Amino acid sequence: MRRLLITALAVLAAEGEAATYSLQRVSHYNAVRSQTDRTPHISACGPTRPGQIALSRDLLRQVGCGARVRLTVGGRSQVYVVNDTMHQRYRRTADVLVRRVSTARKLGVSAGTLTVLRKGRPYRG
């Protein structure tokens, strides 16, 4: 039992604390041609899916495709899967996929915090 506990503590120490990033901008988008490219249902990491978030390329290189992240905005947190990236002009930015244009407008743009819960596979874009 003692050996198991020591092994578990060693693994936790090796993983370290979860990486946290301060985001300058958190916005919301829809999978439509006017807001994406000619293929709105295909993201940088695969098909578009519910519960996905797009990150600026500087962050996507850090966390990877398929990473599970917690986004905190205004004291509210939600878990997302990183599945897309944004235009190269953005830095320290997240864009949350929502179904309706009206929802994206209502939620607006704000600052937030991103915590990596599980890293994904390397982004090669």
Extents of the domains making up the chain: 18-118
Per-residue pLDDT, 72 = 97
Torsion of CA 101, 49, 113, 44, to 10 degrees: -100
The residue-averaged pLDDT of 45-63 equals 90
pLDDT at 90 over 80: yes
pLDDT at 81 over 90: yes
Query: What is the model's pTM?
Result: 0.79
Question: Taking phi first (over 0 means left), then psi (-120 to 50 degrees means alpha), and beta for anything else, what does residue 92 get?
Answer: left
The residue-averaged pLDDT of 79-100 equals 92
Q: What is the 3-state secondary structure (H, E, C) of 31-63?
A: CCCCCCCCCCCEECCEECCCCEEEECHHHHHHH
The correct CATH number of 18-118 out of 3.40.190.10, 2.40.50.140, 3.40.50.970, 2.40.40.10 is 2.40.40.10
pLDDT at 99 over 90: no
